[in-house]
Amino acid sequence: MAALAYNLGKREINHYFSVRSAKVLALVAVLLLAAGHLASRRYRGNDSCEYLLSSGRFLGEKVWQPHSCMMHKYKISEAKNCLVDKHIAFIGDSRIRQLFYSFVKIINPQFKEEGNKHENIPFEDKIASVKVDFLWHPEVNGSMKQCIKVWTEDSVAKPHVIVAGAATWSIKIHNGSNEALSQYKMNITSIAPLLEKLAKTSDVYWVLQDPVYEDLLSENRKMITNEKIDAYNEAAVSILNSSTRNSKSNVKMFSVSKLIAQETIMESLDGLHLPESSRETSAMILMNVYCNKILKPVDGSCCQPRPPLTLIQKLAACFFTLSIIGYLIFYIIHHNAHRKNKPCTDLESGEEKKNIINTPVSPLEILLQSFCKLGLIMAYFYMCDRANLFMKENKFYTHSTFFIPIIYILVLGVFYNENTKETKVLNREQTDEWKGWMQLVILIYHISGASTFLPVYMHIRVLVAAYLFQTGYGHFSYFWIKGDFGIHRVCQVLFRLNFLVVVLCIVMDQPYQFYYFVPLVTVWFMVIYVTLALWPQIIQKKANGNCLWHFGLLVKLAFLLLCICFLAYSQGAFEKIFSLWPLSKCFELKGNVYEWWFRWRLDRYVVFHGMLFAFIYLGLQKRQILSEGKGEPLFSNKISNFLLFISVVSFLTYSIWASSCKNKAECNELHPSVSVVQILAFILIRNIPGCARSVYSSFFAWFGKISLELFICQYHIWLAADTRGILVLIPGNPMLNIIVSTFIFVCVAHEISQITNDLAQIIIPKDNSSLLKRLACVAAFFCGLLILSSIQDKSRH
């Protein structure tokens, strides 16, 4: 009864909500969101620096998240590189002095807060040629005005950055009188034109006063109330913003520290000065405001302009535009022809007559339609991660943000289960299911920032290894059983693996190695192919006739293992091979192939393990040692129970070891040798019981069929800033944002999967002579791409 209700419910859902209708809904959502963000940017302004200086919230206790953009955490070397030959001046009271110390400690963490607090404090790093000064002027008065006026003179070297602010001393000295506020207004009015003049050549920031914690204030500071502080801030904002009549003021208001203080002032020691963590956040914001536009860090999207289009990107835009226009013309012509050939009604009989029989869709139409769709999808990719249209936020890990979604998807996966069509070990439905749940876990891992939690990181490493294990198992099984070493098979696999990544490298201006998993599976596929295709070609049909062929295959596999070990422990040899042109264009990242060596070495044995497992399993299957009938255990009861026990113990042992890991480098060193333990344990647990082998989760299997597209697309349209942050389509509502962005992301990945399959049928024909011509065209395309890439690199340097 329950099964009947489930099937009826599923049919009802599929009747009203298909994949096609989901994609239409996703398209409408993208258009509405793009229009909304575009209107918001025009109304509120397109300067993310303003958001960084004025708004944000805390993620957890100490992580500050600016509104709409990502903040980079600057290291010492980065700060020095940005501020080389620069002079920064802080002018104001004790609060500005605190900000000065926190700013200097980004450059030199050993700098100590010592000396007379009520005097000027210099700092200079002669090696980096960085100079930072604090000038003690606790009141906005003639003394501060004179200091600023000197900088406006043409003969005097001006600071590159000026950070000023003061008010609490005026409140304290004059006991919070209204006359003091009036005098403050007059003084800041006289200083405003000077600051405006300086702001034409330097970055000038006026720091608004932070709130105080009145309960902690000493008796001689009781007159400093939040009401008074608000009055002084309002005066400063009003006067400085109106210092220019016909244009916007160039003096920037540093008001974000007020928001930070509202959350943290309770931790203050005296009720007036902020705790150190809050000061560090404000100093890091200042560093982002000035340095992001200079160093352009990937995870620092605040204050960064949209990157200029490269020559290759412009050509890609032209190509996709022409494809869209071509398809529209083709569609209009075809639609008009279809209307002319519609069935007409016979006036005498009242019956319809068909003029022509519907012709099948032509390859040209499929080609134009596919590139038209792909062009629109790539426009969405560009809008999400390059055009600064949508917002981005930093990741922030908590256990709940990782484990609660995991529980949700597991419940859904268990609910949507069906009987398998076949009950063999690692049948197609089961491997799709395996890929599906692993991909969903990896997606949650990435968006939650769980890489900072080492036990989760180590388990995710096993999931990546399991993908590569399936690569070894699947391709070995195909070549061993089918014996098809033809060029058509190789081109089909390479096209399906690499098509999306090549397009993204062009559109998003990224190196091929950036999408590291695709180069990894591509190289391993070619290794498997070469290992089995080279003389002597040993396949199952040949080996069944003579057992010596099995030994020959084992020799091949042993030689492959030897080569893997040699390259793993000979970094120099590995780098020399992959640094050769044109391989270097594919495998270099940031000018070297170290990242590629690290990624390859991390899972160096698991593909070999997959191949060896396939060889052993297919041998046992051929000799009918395994019982793969429906509901039957894989072995006899005693052996099955024993292997199940060993598998569960092995699985848990690995998890305990991974959870007790304390050093990522040491664990990564052991991972290549031990990851196969948990993979094999899972395979046995999943396949030994007949009842488990006879069912699969259709929910996970659906995602498994588009797992590659999901893995690649997440880089730009689910995550942001090349995976460093999170895409924000709906600000202010994280839960709704995740739901909407995930829905669009999955629809796009599914559509790209279909486009890839359609294009593969057209671009990779079965006829060898036609295929060779296509390959010549592809080779010419990549040669042109290499030439254009070289021209771009030279122009950048």
Amino acid type, 565: C
Strands 352-353 and 344-345: what pairing? antiparallel
Taking every pair of Cα atoms in the chain, the longest distance, rounded to a whole number of angstroms, is 109
Alpha helices by DSSP H, listed for 660-728, are 664-687, 690-693, 698-704, 707-717
94: annotated active-site residue = yes
Q: Strand 86-92 to strand 63-66: parallel, antiparallel, or no bridges (unpaired)?
A: unpaired
Side by side, the strands of the sheet bearing 121-125 are 121-125, 130-136, 86-92, 161-165, 203-207, 252-254
Q: Provide the CA 472 distance to its chain's centre, in angstroms.
A: 27
Number of residues that this document lists for the chain: 797
344 DSSP β-pair partners: 353
What's the angle, vertex CA 366, arms to CA 364 and CA 368, rounded to 5? 65
The single residue of 21, 270, 570, 659 carrying the catalytic annotation is 270
Nearest C-alpha neighbor of 44 from the set 67, 61, 27:
67
**Which listed residue (40, 54, 55, 94) is catalytic?**
94
Strands 695-697 and 203-207: unpaired
Active-site choice (37, 87, 137, 273): 273
DSSP at 589: B
Enumerate long-range contacts of 738-744, CB under 8 Å, 24 or more apart. 738/447, 740/29, 740/33, 741/717, 742/718, 743/22, 743/25, 743/26, 743/29, 744/26, 744/29, 744/30, 744/717
Instruction: Using alpha carbons, select from 178, 734, 693 the residue that is nearest to residue 404.
Output: 734
What does the buried/exposed string (b/e) look like for 25-37 if buried means 16 or more CB atoms within 10 Å of the residue's CB? Answer: ebbebbeebbeeb
Nearest Cα neighbor of 484 from 495, 473, 493 is 493
Dihedral sign for Cα 100, 101, 107, 108, please: positive
CB burial string 66-91: b at 16+ within 10 A, e below: bbbbbbbebeeebbbebbeebbbbbb
Peptide bond between residue 305 and the one before it cis (omega within 30 degrees of 0): no
C-alpha to C-alpha distances, 397 to 264, 281, 384, 450, nearest whole angstrom: 21, 18, 22, 6
- Rounded Cα distance between 694 and 690, Å, is 6
Distances (CA, A) of 180 to 166, 185, 187, 235: 13, 9, 10, 12
Please give the backbone phi and psi of residue 257, each rounded to the nearest 5 degrees, phi first: -65, -25
- Tell the residue number behind the tokens 């999808």, with chain if given: 377
Q: Nearest 10 degrees: CA dihedral of 190, 193, 194, 198?
A: 160
DSSP string, 217-245: --GGGTT--HHHHHHHHHHHHHHHHTSSS
Go through 300-334 and write b for each residue having 16 or more CB atoms within 10 A of its CB, e for each that does not. Answer: bbbbbeeeeebebbeebbeebeebbebbeebeeee
The amino acid occupying position 635 is F
Contacts (Cβ under 8 Å, ≥6 apart) of 599: 516, 520
**In the structure encoding, which two tokens stand for residue 225, read together?**
């109330």
Tokens at 555, concatenated: 């020799």
Q: Do 127 and 95 form a contact (C-beta atoms < 8 A)?
A: no
- What does R_g of the chain's alpha carbons equal in angstroms? 32
104 CB-near residues (< 8 Å, 6+ apart): 111, 123, 132
270 carries an active-site annotation: yes
37 is catalytic: no
How far is it, in rounded angstroms, from Cα 598 to Cα 312?
A: 29
Catalytic amino acids? Answer: 94, 270, 273
